[in-house]
Chains A and B, each alone.
Chain A
Amino acid sequence: MNFFLIVALVAIINTTNIRFGLFFFGQPLVLGGILGLILNDMGVGLYVGSIIQLMWVRSMPIGVKVQTNYTLITFLTIFFIKIFDTPFYPLIFILSYVFATVAKYLEKIIKKINSHIVDLVMKNLKKVNLDILHIIYLIVYTIIFFLFFLISFYVMHFFLLKLVFYVPEKMLLAFQASYKYLILYALSLMYQSVSFKFKFFYFLGGAGLALFLILAQLPFYMALIVLVLMTIFVSLLEQKKWIFGGNN
């Protein structure tokens, strides 16, 4: 698939994140899968998508808060890992993060401009067709981010080409080794995504059950099914009246 078409697709997906519809195509796991299909490497797509999904699961777009653009991070990371290979992923990730932060500030500027657009529309409400205004706005927004994504890609490519020669051999080996366990690092971040009383004991309970299933030498898929069923049971246990009935 043509590179520009892919960038255009990602820019459209970025628009559907918040500005149009909250369609969730820009969620890292979904975008990772889509890019994996396009680049014919589902392994890298799903792996990187899963990691970024787990890292940004706690981030909420509440009130004036603007999130770091995780769609851009996913796009740049998957593309450059395909180009430069896995040992360079820390450089790739940090540079993607920088561009995603710039995208965040671009979004903040757009929000400020929107205030003026809204004021202008309010003053000329009778002359403005709101449907057409929305469509034009979304097209302009997508074009702005298409150009931004394209510039980010080329600037990052330029910097990476300069930087890769300065990474020592031993550090590359460390990077290579850490890539394999990156998913465990991301999974450990999930623990803080929710909070409630006795959370630690639920976590230990799950781990204890898994340990029992491992010792019972169940095959993986069987153990996973038992884990899911037991998780459903334990989650509902607190609401006893749902299972055993009750007066209140």
Chain B
Amino acid sequence: MFLRLFIKLFFVDTLLNDRNMQNFGFAYIMSSALKRLGDIRTYYERLIAHFEYFNSNPFFISAIIGICTNLEEKGKTDIIYKIKLETMAPLSALADSLVFGTIKPFFTVLFVSLAMISVKSSFWLFWLSFFLVTNFLKIYTLYFSYKMGLGFIFKLTKLNLQTLIAILKRFIVFYLGGFALLYLHFYVHIEASLFHNTFYALLLGFLFLNAFVFSRLKNWMSLTLYILFFVIYYYIKF
């Protein structure tokens, strides 16, 4: 059953919809667990109950699936909806911060820096690392939540994921500062002319402004500003 649940987790967002978000994906995953438990009458009854509104992070949804399967096995069906409702938002916030807010930028800065220095394998290494880590998270949360039931929530709080997030965030920023300067020195070769050449000084000034101010704009706006910078410089200079 564990393998079935894991495979079906890949379909969680297939029928992602406007009204009830991931309700269909959740019910579809639970269908394989419910088939094992009850007879055909209770199966449809329970399945319909899982079509309630549901929205969480696709990487941590496995934790709620595991807890719900555990509760279904124990017959505690009356509290399932309450558990789903109360766990989906906090788990989603934690997972969004961990996966999209930390792990993704971490692998991005690491492997893009390799791509920038022409390491051709960087793209599949990026894919492999990201894929393995996120699927490890899915397997880990699914396995332990299924085994431990509601106790998994307490285990999750003891894992101290906030510390891991803080460490990775510091890594990203410190490495970014260091790599940017190393790249400028070894690959762009501006160190000698930095204070003598107006263009490089202006470019560096623009990049600093971009990092602190323009990056808050939409992508197309900041890119347009970057291109405009070059166009204006060329029209003034030549």
Contact = CB atoms under 8 A, between A and B. Distances in A.
Interface of A: 18-25, 27, 29-30, 32-34, 36, 42-43, 45-47, 49-50, 53-58, 60-64, 68, 90, 93-94, 97, 108, 111-112, 114-115, 117-118, 121-122, 125-126, 130, 134, 137-138, 170-171, 173-175, 177-178, 181-185, 187-196, 199, 202-211, 213-214, 220, 223-224, 227-228, 230-232, 234-236, 238-239
B174 A174 contact: no
A184 B173 contact: no
10 contacts: A33-B115, A111-B16, A122-B48, A134-B15, A189-B211, A213-B182, A228-B175, A230-B178, A231-B174, A235-B168
Interface stretch (B66-74, B77-85, B122-130): B122-130
A125 B171 contact: no
B201 interface: no
A98 B231 CA distance: 22
A189 B170 contact: no
A137 B182 contact: no
A230 B179 CA distance: 12
Interface in B12-28: 13-21, 23-24, 28
Contact of A23 (B11, B109, B131, B179): B131
B224 to A, nearest CB: 8
A178 B230 CA distance: 6
A24 B111 CA distance: 14
Contacts of A90: 223, 227
B140 interface: no
Contact of B203 (A64, A175, A181): A181
Identify the interface centre among A21, A196, A228: most chain B CB within 10 Å of its CB.
A21
B128 to A, nearest CB: 9
A29 B115 contact: yes
Contact of B123 (A33, A122, A125, A182): A33
> Interface majority SS on B: helix, strand, loop or mixed?
helix
Given A97-B219, A181-B203, 16 more contacts: A24-B130, A25-B127, A42-B120, A50-B116, A62-B96, A64-B18, A111-B18, A117-B17, A174-B234, A187-B112, A187-B116, A193-B108, A205-B177, A224-B179, A234-B170, A234-B174
A114 B122 contact: no
Given A29-B122, A64-B18, A239-B163, A193 B170 contact: no
Contacts of A118: 15, 17, 19-20, 23-24, 51
Given A125-B48, A130-B31, A191-B211, A115 B167 contact: no
A53 B175 contact: no
B101 to A, nearest CB: 7
A188 B130 CA distance: 22
**Consensus secondary structure, chain A interface:** helix
A190 B183 CA distance: 15
The 5 closest A-B pairs by CB, nearest first: A33-B123, A206-B177, A206-B178, A114-B17, A210-B181
B141 interface: no
B176 A206 contact: yes
Nearest to A18: B13
B219 A55 contact: yes
B176 A203 contact: yes
B37 interface: no
B161 interface: no
Contacts of B169: 194-196
